[in-house]
Amino acid sequence: MEELAIKIAETLDISVQGAIDIYPVIRSQYIWYEVLTKMALWMVILIIASIIIIGVAGVNRDYTDKFDLRTEKITEEWVSIDKVFKKAILALLVFVVITIAITIVVPFLAPDIMLIKDFMG
């Protein structure tokens, strides 16, 4: 713990006692920072997966006959592909909103970490 306090003191240009005093705050902010950045990474992965699913479902939807010429009704195959397509679009929108929210919230929940990160480059 003392080595960590010395490193924090050197980084922030404060006394070792000051570093020991702010350590709990820095620690909790770092936990928030790590959790939220990992969540943002997973959201980006899910956004990419949603885009791929939208592409595949869109192509399948275009190449699947919508109407059965004999009965003049919409085919079940097209309806199921359309459901996947619409759910993937909804998922994409939700993942984008969550990613934007995480990006906005991180500086508020971990301001000291963001400041240190900006100072260190």
Cα angle: 108, vertex 110, 111; to 5 degrees:
70
What tens digit of pLDDT does each residue of 50-61 get? Answer: 999 999 999 998
What is the rounded CA–CA span in Å between residue 11 and residue 100? 30
How large is the greatest C-alpha to C-alpha distance in the chain, in angstroms? Answer: 84
Average pLDDT of the residues in 8-35: 78
74 DSSP β-pair partners: 67
- For 98, counting Cβ atoms within 10 Å of its Cβ (0-12 exposed, 13-18 middle, 19+ buried), the class is middle
pTM over 0.75: yes
* pLDDT attached to residue 53: 96
